[in-house]
């Protein structure tokens, strides 16, 4: 039985302006996610061929800018255009469209922050690892867990605690040189 207090997503899809898949992550009712591959996406999108057909039909309905939400094949689809990409959050027909929209906007804004406002197909493909992490911070096993774009972006871009960054510039080199010079002078005086 589904927990009715949690807002769920059936799929997250990014298509380019030709309708080709850039990223697709489907979630089944048990909460397992698949990047592409077979799944139990409610009405039987078990194969990659069925997923592609669903995505193609969805793209045909939403390729022109102007809308933000449609009901397609019994699924609520909230979408957002961004340069040469279209982002989709797919939920059940009885899902809360405002929560789907909030999650989509949060993901989109976090992607803009992480990619420095260069959210286009080339940049997305080059930084696919960041976007998948961003998606995982927004949706966990099909459940919307975060709708604040700043929080999502900070969790994805947070530097590791075990790495230390050493800044080497002209000033630090001069400091190192003067310290070495002083130590050498002290050693020479001691002899």
DSSP state string for 162-182: T-------HHHHHHHHHHHHH
Q: Match 């929560």 to its residue by tokens.
A: 99
Specify the higher pLDDT residue, 134 or 44. 134
Residue 33 has pLDDT above 70, yes or no: no
Task: Write down how long the chain is.
Answer: 191
Note the pLDDT tens digit of each residue in 88-134. Answer: 999 888 888 888 889 999 998 888 888 888 888 888 888 888 888 88
Q: Mapping DSSP to helix (H, G, I), strand (E, B) and coil, where does residue 67 land?
A: strand
| CA 176 vs CA 41, 169, 173, 181: distances in Å | 61, 11, 5, 9
Both tokens of 136, joined, read 């995982």
Both tokens of 168, joined, read 């080497």
The mean per-residue pLDDT over the stretch 23-47 comes to: 56
In this prediction the pTM is 0.70
CA-nearest of 73, 40, 27, 76 to 54 is 73
Q: Which range (37-46, 128-137, 152-161) has the least confidence?
A: 37-46
Q: Which domains are delineated in the chain? A: 11-157 (3.30.450.60)
E strands present in 53-183: 69-72, 75-82, 85-92, 139-140, 143-144
């Amino acid at each position: 039985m589904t927990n009715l207090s949690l807002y769920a997503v059936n799929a997250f899809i990014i298509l380019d302006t030709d309708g080709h898949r850039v990223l697709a992550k489907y979630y089944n009712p048990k909460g397992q996610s698949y990047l592409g591959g077979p799944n139990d996406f409610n009405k039987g999108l078990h194969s990659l061929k069925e997923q592609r057909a669903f995505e193609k039909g969805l793209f045909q309905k939403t390729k022109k800018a102007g809308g933000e939400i449609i009901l397609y094949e019994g699924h609520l689809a909230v979408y957002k255009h961004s340069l040469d990409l279209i982002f989709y959050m797919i939920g059940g027909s009885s899902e809360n469209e405002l929560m789907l929209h909030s999650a989509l906007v949060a993901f989109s804004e976090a992607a803009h922050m992480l990619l420095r406002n260069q959210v286009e197909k080339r940049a997305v493909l080059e930084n696919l690892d960041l976007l998948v992490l961003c998606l995982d911070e927004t949706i966990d096993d099909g459940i919307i867990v975060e709708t604040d774009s700043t929080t999502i972006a900070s969790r994805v871009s947070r530097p590791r605690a075990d790495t230390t960054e050493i800044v080497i510039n002209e000033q630090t080199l001069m400091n190192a040189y003067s310290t070495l010079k002083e130590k050498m002078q002290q050693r020479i005086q001691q002899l």
